[in-house]
Amino acid sequence: MKIKKLDLSEENVEFLVKISDLSGETVTLCEQCGTCSGSCPMVSEMDITPSQMVRMVQLGESEVMDTKAMWLCASCFTCTVRCPRGLDLSKIAEALRQITLRKAVDYIDIRDLSKDEMKRLPQIALISAMRKFTG
């Protein structure tokens, strides 16, 4: 079997390094075993699985920014405690969210909530959502 070395473009390497720095995680450690995707309570709602998200980051594919998996991550740390390579995917998802939020682009607008929802939602929900979805 011939093994072909992957050559990433400069641009792709830059994206990989950026996410690695922001997350503090050695993203290249992932072996694509899929434990995270099998454990994720949100996976059925996602367009790509957590392991696909990590794979795209490994390859420096900034197209991952167009997916919504990172926004559906609830930072529940289930993948974190199960990853056999010791990767913290919740930090990788946070890094991806931060790329958008730090451009002052919010993912939610709290003003879209109905009056009924505003009345029902406890502070703990509103504050955590604003911390995760707004810059």
The binding site for other proteins (CB under 8 A) comprises 21-24, 41-42, 45, 71-72, 74-78, 80-81, 88, 90-91, 93-95, 98, 107-108, 110, 113, 117, 120-129, 131-133
Shortest Å distance, C-beta 3 to other proteins: 33
Residue with tokens 């709290």: 110
Q: Which strand (E) or helix (H) includes residue 71?
A: helix 69-72
Rounding to the nearest 10 degrees, give the CA dihedral for residues 120, 122, 128, 134.
40
Distance CA(113)–CA(115), nearest Å, equals: 7
Task: Give the residue with the Cβ less far from other proteins, 56 or 92.
Answer: 92
- Residue type at 46 in one-letter notation: M
Shortest Å distance, C-beta 64 to other proteins: 16
Task: Give the residue with the Cβ less far from other proteins, 85 or 132.
Answer: 132
Shortest Å distance, C-beta 4 to other proteins: 32
Task: Give the residue with the Cβ less far from other proteins, 6 or 95.
Answer: 95
- Residue type at 103 in one-letter notation: K
Distance CA(35)–CA(31), nearest Å, equals: 10
Distance CA(38)–CA(79), nearest Å, equals: 9
Shortest Å distance, C-beta 105 to other proteins: 15
